[in-house]
Structure 1
Amino acid sequence: MSPRTDTTNPAAETTTVVRTRFATMPPERQRLPVARRSVRPRPGRARILRLVALGLVLVAGAGMVLASVTRSSGDSAPTLPIAVTLTVFLLAVWAWTSTRLDDTLVAFLAAIALIVTGVLPASDFFSSLGDETIWLLIGAFVIASAVSSSGLALRGASHLLRFARGPRSLFHLTTVALTLTAFAVPATSGRAALAVPVYTAVSAVLPGRERVIRALALLMPTVVLLSAVGSLLGAGAHIVTDQLLRAAGEEGFTFLSWLWLGLPLAVVSSHLACEIILWRFTRREDRTIPLRMSTAEIGRSASTAVTGPLSSPERRAAVLLGGVILLWATEPLHHLSPALVALLGAVAAVTPGIGCLTFPAAIKRVPWSLLLFLAATLALASALTTTGAAAWLSSSALAPLRGLGAAGAVAFVLVVIAISTAAHLLIPSRSARSAAIIPVVIALAPALGVSPMAAAFASTAAAGFCHTLPSSAKPIAMFADPDIVSGGFTPQDLRRLSMLLAPAMFVLVTVFALWVWPLMGLPLLL
Structure 2
Amino acid sequence: MSYSKLIATLLYLIFTIWLFLETNMSYLGQLSVALFILSLGLFIFSKMPAGLSAMLVVCLGVLLGLPESILYESLEEHVIWLMIGAFIIGGVVETSGLLDRLIRWIEVKCTSEKRLNVLVFLFIQILSLIIPSTSGRAAALLPVYQAFTDRFSANRRYLGLLMPILVLMGTNLSLIGAGSHLIGIGLLENQADQSITYLQFLIWGLPFGIVIGIISLLMIKKIYMKPIEAEVTEKAMEPVHEKHPFSTKEKKALVLIGLTVLLWITEPVHQFDIAFITILMSLIMMLPKIDLIGWREAFNRVSWSLIFFVAGATALGNLLAKYKVLDVIQHNLFKVMHHLELTNTFVPLVLIVVISVTSHLYITSHTSRAVVFIPLLIVFGKMFGLNLTAVVFMALIGMNYCLTFPVSSKALLLFYENKEKPFTIKQLMHLSMWLMPLYMIAMIVMYYVFWQHVGLALK
TM-score scaled to structure 1, two decimals? 0.72
Distance 1:431 1:104, change over 3 A: farther
1:331 matched to 2:274: no
Q: What displacement does 1:275 show?
A: 0.9
Q: What displacement does 1:170 show?
A: 1.8
Match of 2:439 in 1: 505
Note the 1:330-409 alignment, pairs <5 A.
Answer: 330-372=266-308, 385=321, 389-406=325-342
> Bigger shift: 143-152 or 84-93?
84-93
- Higher RCO structure, 1 or 2 (CA under 8 Å, sep 6+): 2
Paired AA for residue 499 in structure 1: M
Say which one has the larger Rg.
1
Q: What displacement does 1:345 show?
A: 0.8
Deviation string 1:129-157 (CA, Å, 9 cap, x unpaired) is 44554444433332222222222123124
Q: What displacement does 1:233 show?
A: 2.8
Match of 2:137 in 1: 191
Distance 1:112 1:266, change over 3 A: same
Contact 1:54 1:94 (8 Å CA) reproduced = no
1:226 matched to 2:160: no
Distance 1:422 1:171, change over 3 A: same
Distance 1:452 1:511, change over 3 A: same
Deviation string 1:160-202 (CA, Å, 9 cap, x unpaired) is 5644553133212211111211233333233223223223333
CA distance in 2, matches of 1:467, 1:461: 14
Distance 1:325 1:292, change over 3 A: farther
| Unmatched tracts of structure 1, length 5 or more | 1-39, 66-81, 301-305
Distance 1:46 1:433, change over 3 A: farther
1:517 matched to 2:451: yes
Distance 1:432 1:392, change over 3 A: closer
Distance 1:188 1:130, change over 3 A: closer
Counterpart of 1:309 (choices 220, 245, 253) is 245
Moved >6 Å (runs of 4+): 122-125, 287-300
Distance 1:355 1:399, change over 3 A: farther
1:51 matched to 2:10: yes
CA distance in 2, matches of 1:299, 1:190: 30
1:438 matched to 2:374: yes
CA distance in 1, matches of 2:318, 2:190: 6
1:259 matched to 2:205: no
Paired AA for residue 123 in structure 2: A
1:91 matched to 2:34: yes
Counterpart of 1:63 (choices 5, 22, 37) is 22
Q: What displacement does 1:454 show?
A: 3.5
Paired AA for residue 275 in structure 2: A
Contact 2:87 2:136 (8 Å CA) reproduced = no
Measured on the aligned residues, the alpha-carbon RMSD in Å equals 3.9
Distance 1:366 1:240, change over 3 A: farther
Note the 1:19-168 alignment, pairs <5 A.
Answer: 43-44=2-3, 47-49=6-8, 51-65=10-24, 83-84=26-27, 86-99=29-42, 100=46, 102=50, 105-106=53-54, 109=57, 113=61, 126=72, 129-160=75-106, 162-164=108-110, 166-168=112-114
CA distance in 1, matches of 2:97, 2:213: 24
TM-score scaled to structure 2, two decimals? 0.81
Distance 1:436 1:396, change over 3 A: closer
Match of 1:202 in 2: 148
CA distance in 2, matches of 1:117, 1:149: 46
CA distance in 2, matches of 1:238, 1:108: 26
Matched residues, number: 454
Contact 2:363 2:369 (8 Å CA) reproduced = yes
| Unmatched tracts of structure 2, length 5 or more | none
CA distance in 2, matches of 1:123, 1:346: 28
1:174 matched to 2:103: no
> Among the aligned pairs, what percent are the same residue?
26
Paired AA for residue 522 in structure 1: L
CA distance in 2, matches of 1:107, 1:482: 24
Paired AA for residue 319 in structure 1: V
> Bigger shift: 255-264 or 266-275?
255-264
Distance 1:393 1:496, change over 3 A: closer
Distance 1:385 1:454, change over 3 A: farther
Contact 2:131 2:137 (8 Å CA) reproduced = yes
